[in-house]
């Protein structure tokens, strides 16, 4: 009898060890996420994911959910560990806060809705579970968020400098001379999975892919939208230049912004001095 | 700077084909890569959307993903030691990858894990360098005209496709290997792996369209062994 109970306890110990390793194999460091004082747990996130996310993103996080074939742009493939909206440099993993913000905000130009109906705790748990799909989270840490210096007040000089940058950095090649998303390269753009993708059309006046504030806009072109054709300009722009570009881009949107008002009043008297943007253009 | 540049040129020459007058100690594996089947025809590239690049080419440029030559030779095949030379000294030279005339030069760049890589833009236009890495971290950076080189390196061995989203015809490869022993076939399909200590090696040939092939080669002393590869070509 004795040897038998010994075996039994050994077997149960093995079982417990298996269970434990199963739990850690799930996500290791990614198992828990920390956003704004809340701790997310992947095990709690899993049923939420199955309920709300798997329909598009797939049970395995591979963007092969049953709805995926009807969706354009395609859902994010979490197994790649590549994310558009980050506060971290191109090539780096996003922070937990970045993923939380994305789940909360949704993508205005895609089928991804804002998940504000879920509690913040639910969303933090979902982030923890999303991080279990890619092996990148087990070998690499989130990048260090870029610093965004305080925004200077917009000036017409700054807007004009921003316009020159829009010309010289050739933003218009994709986004179009007037920001309508119709530049010469727009039609041939593909994302990293070779699916066609459209550049942002400023004329729609919708929110940007990753937020809506001037800071969000600054962050978009200083980090790039990884997995998409939008590159990072962090190596090419000084902070003051980036702010100039932000202020110019605001004038392309049909919105009541201080930049747009400033631009309209300047343009009404000086419009004819401007060179066009585009292949023949010199910007200012 | 000039000295460094010439050493890089020498390295490129060594890697891209047999260097005249250069004989490293140890054994050599050399050979030729050919194909059977029907390779895709090289297609002319329409660069009319980028006049500054059209102006750099006297004749229209053709696609480089399947460049074949006389005697069914295959260009741009990376031949490397995939097993048997673990622990060999790592290369520290900087690998140059240029964007010139809206093309990647070289079309396929071979480097070791952690070897410095410099990406240069010689064109009077903006490019974005978008390595579609899966094992390493994918990134995407803009490099406008006149911008300084992008200095980087890769952490893991991988065959990384590179593209420029602005100019959709621009395709290339970063081939990141563990081994310092590699060679890219030239227009005659020839390659040469030099300086191999005695031992048993697995030699692998990789081509972006025609796939991968391996064979075992044993080197004893400073002999030269021949290893030829025949890849299977398929049209598009």
SS3 assignment for chain B: CHHHHHHHHHHHHHHHCCCCCCCCCCEEEEEEEEEEECCCCCCECCCCCCHHHHCCCCCCCECCCCCECHHHEECCCEEEEEECCCCCCCCCCCEEEEEECCEEECCEEEEECCCCEEEEECCCCCEEEEECCCCCCCCCEEECCCCCCEEECCCCCEEEEEECCCCCCCEEEEEEECCCCEEECCCCCEEEEEEECCEEEEEEEEECCCEEEEEEEEECCCCEEECCEEEEECCC
The pLDDT assigned to A33 comes to 86
How many Cβ pairs within 8 Å bridge chains A and B? 78
CATH match for A28-139 among 1.10.287.70, 3.10.20.440, 1.10.760.10, 1.10.3720.10: 1.10.760.10
CA distance A203 to A209: 14
> Does the beta-carbon distance from A185 to B165 stay under 8 Å?
yes
Task: Write out residues in chain A with pLDDT < 50, as ranges.
Answer: 1-29, 283-284
Of B139, B143, B144, the CB nearest to A90: B139
Domain positions in chain A: 28-139, 156-273
A-chain residues within 8 Å CB-CB of B125? 170
The pLDDT assigned to B24 comes to 54
> Does the beta-carbon distance from A140 to B138 stay under 8 Å?
no
Query: Taking Cα atoms as reference points, which of A47, A36, A175, A151 lies closest to residue A100?
Result: A36
Of A80, A192, A236, the CB nearest to B142: A236
CA distance A23 to A108: 35
A-chain residues within 8 Å CB-CB of B148? 235
> Does the beta-carbon distance from A91 to B138 stay under 8 Å?
yes
ipTM: 0.84
Domains A28-139 and A156-273 share a fold: yes
Total tally of structural domains belonging to chain B: 1
**A156-273, what's its fold?**
Cytochrome Bc1 Complex; Chain D, domain 2 (1.10.760)
Q: What percent of chain B has pLDDT over 90?
A: 83
Give the pLDDT confidence of B112-151 residue by residue, as tens digits.
Answer: 999 999 999 999 999 999 999 999 999 999 999 999 999 9
> Does the beta-carbon distance from A236 to B144 stay under 8 Å?
yes
The pLDDT assigned to A5 comes to 44
Task: Flag whether pLDDT at B160 surpasses 50.
Answer: yes
> Does the beta-carbon distance from A232 to B141 stay under 8 Å?
yes
Of B125, B130, B168, the CB nearest to A231: B130
> Does the beta-carbon distance from B167 to A185 stay under 8 Å?
yes
The pLDDT assigned to A242 comes to 98
The pLDDT assigned to A19 comes to 40
> Does the beta-carbon distance from A80 to B51 stay under 8 Å?
no
Of A80, A91, A185, the CB nearest to B49: A185
The pLDDT assigned to A281 comes to 67
> Does the beta-carbon distance from B165 to A80 stay under 8 Å?
no
The pLDDT assigned to B234 comes to 86
**For the range B119-122, what are the long-range contacts, defined as Cβ-Cβ under 8 Å and sequence gap of 24 or more?**
B119/B143, B119/B149, B119/B150, B119/B152, B120/B96, B120/B149, B121/B145, B121/B146, B121/B147, B122/B98
B-chain residues within 8 Å CB-CB of A181? none
> Does the beta-carbon distance from B144 to A173 stay under 8 Å?
no
Measured in degrees and rounded to the nearest 5, phi and psi for residue B204 equal: -120, 135
Mutation choice for A interface testing from B123, B125, B132, B137 by most A CBs within 10 A: B137
Of B129, B134, B144, the CB nearest to A168: B144
DSSP chain A: -HHHHHHHHHHHHHHHHHHHHHHHHTTGGGGEEEETTEEEEHHHHHHHHHHHTHHHH-TTSSS--TTGGG-SSPPP-TTTT--SS-SS-TTSBPPHHHHHHHHHH--TTSS----TTS-HHHHHHHHHHHTTS-THHHH-PBPPPPP-PPPPPP-HHHHHHHHHHHHHTTTHHHH-TTSSS--TTGGG-B-TTS-B-PPP-GGG-PPBTTBSSHHHHHHHHHH--TTSS--B-TTT--HHHHHHHHHHHHHTSSS--HHHHHHHHHHHHHGGGPPPSSTT----
The pLDDT assigned to B236 comes to 74
Instruction: Print the domain residue range for B211.
Output: 2-18+25-233
The pLDDT assigned to B88 comes to 84
CA distance B28 to B5: 27
Mutation choice for B interface testing from A91, A92, A181 by most B CBs within 10 A: A91
> Does the beta-carbon distance from B125 to A184 stay under 8 Å?
no
Q: Mean of the per-residue pLDDT values for chain B? A: 89
Query: How far off is chain A from B113, nearest CA to CA, in Å?
Result: 16
Cis peptide upstream of residue A73 (ω within 30 degrees of 0): yes
The CATH number of whichever domain residue B162 belongs to comes to 2.60.40.420
Contact A250, A114 (CB under 8 A): no
Query: How far off is chain A from B50, nearest CA to CA, in Å?
Result: 9
CA distance B5 to B9: 6
> Does the beta-carbon distance from B165 to A174 stay under 8 Å?
yes
B-chain residues within 8 Å CB-CB of A172? none
A-chain residues within 8 Å CB-CB of B45? none
Q: Using beta carbons and an 8 Å cutoff, which residues of B are at the interface with A?
A: 49, 51, 125-126, 128-130, 132, 134, 137-144, 147-148, 150, 165-168
The pLDDT assigned to B25 comes to 76
CA distance A238 to A200: 23
A-chain residues within 8 Å CB-CB of B139? 90-91, 224, 226, 232
Half-sphere exposure of A181 (CA within 13 A, CB side): 15
Of B132, B134, B141, the CB nearest to A231: B141
Residues 6+ away with beta carbon under 8 Å from A67: A55, A56, A75, A111
> Does the beta-carbon distance from B134 to A80 stay under 8 Å?
yes
The pLDDT assigned to A282 comes to 54
Grade residue B21 by pLDDT with cuts at 50, 70 and 90. very low
The pLDDT assigned to B87 comes to 84
Query: How far off is chain B from A235, nearest CA to CA, in Å?
Result: 8
> Does the beta-carbon distance from A91 to B129 stay under 8 Å?
no
């Amino acid at each position: 009898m004795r040897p038998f109970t010994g075996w039994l306890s050994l077997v149960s110990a093995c079982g417990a060890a298996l269970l434990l390793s199963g739990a850690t194999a799930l996500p290791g460091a990614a198992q828990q996420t920390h956003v704004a004082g809340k701790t997310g747990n992947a095990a709690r996130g899993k049923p939420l994911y199955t309920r709300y996310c798997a329909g598009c993103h797939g049970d395995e996080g591979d963007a092969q959910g049953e709805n995926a074939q009807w969706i354009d742009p395609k859902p994010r493939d979490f197994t790649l560990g590549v994310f558009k909206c980050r506060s971290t440099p191109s090539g780096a993993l996003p922070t937990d806060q970045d993923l939380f913000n994305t789940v909360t905000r949704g993508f205005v130009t895609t089928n991804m809705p804002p998940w504000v109906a879920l509690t913040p705790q639910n969303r933090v748990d979902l982030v923890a579970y999303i991080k279990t799909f890619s092996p990148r989270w087990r070998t690499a840490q989130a990048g260090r968020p870029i610093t965004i210096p305080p925004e200077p007040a917009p000036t017409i000089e700054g807007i004009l400098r921003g316009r020159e940058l829009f010309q010289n950095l050739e933003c218009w090649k994709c986004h179009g001379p007037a920001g309508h998303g119709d530049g010469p390269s727009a039609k041939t753009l593909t994302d990293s999975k070779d699916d066609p993708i459209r550049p942002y059309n400023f004329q729609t006046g919708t929110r940007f892919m990753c937020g809506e504030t001037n800071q969000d806009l600054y962050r978009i072109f200083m980090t790039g939208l990884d997995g998409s054709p939008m590159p990072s300009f962090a190596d090419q722009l000084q902070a003051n230049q980036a702010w100039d570009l932000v202020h110019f881009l605001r004038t392309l949107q049909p919105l009541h912004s201080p930049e747009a008002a400033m631009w309209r009043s300047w343009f009404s008297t000086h419009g004819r001095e401007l060179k066009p943007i585009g292949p023949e253009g010199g910007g200012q | 700077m000039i000295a460094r540049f010439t050493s890089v040129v020498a390295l490129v020459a060594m890697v891209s084909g047999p260097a005249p007058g250069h004989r490293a100690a140890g054994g050599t594996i050399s050979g030729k890569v050919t194909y059977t089947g029907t390779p895709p025809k090289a297609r002319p590239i329409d660069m009319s959307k980028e006049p500054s690049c059209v102006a750099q080419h006297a004749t229209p440029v053709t696609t480089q993903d399947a460049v074949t030559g006389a005697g069914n030779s295959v260009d741009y095949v990376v031949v490397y030691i995939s097993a048997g030379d673990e622990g060999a000294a790592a290369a520290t030279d900087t690998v140059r990858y240029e964007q010139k005339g809206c093309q990647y030069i070289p079309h396929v760049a071979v480097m070791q894990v952690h070897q410095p890589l410099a990406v240069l833009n010689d064109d009077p236009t903006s490019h974005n360098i978008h390595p579609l890495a899966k094992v390493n971290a994918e990134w995407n950076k803009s490099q406008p005209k006149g911008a300084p080189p992008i200095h980087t390196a890769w952490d893991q061995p991988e065959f990384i496709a590179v593209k420029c989203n602005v100019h959709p015809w621009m395709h290339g490869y970063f081939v990141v290997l563990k081994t310092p022993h590699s060679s890219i076939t030239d227009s005659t399909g020839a390659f040469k792996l030099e300086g191999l200590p005695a031992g048993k090696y697995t030699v692998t040939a990789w081509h972006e369209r025609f796939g991968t092939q391996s064979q075992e080669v044993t080197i004893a002393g400073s002999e030269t062994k021949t290893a030829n590869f025949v890849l299977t070509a398929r049209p598009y």
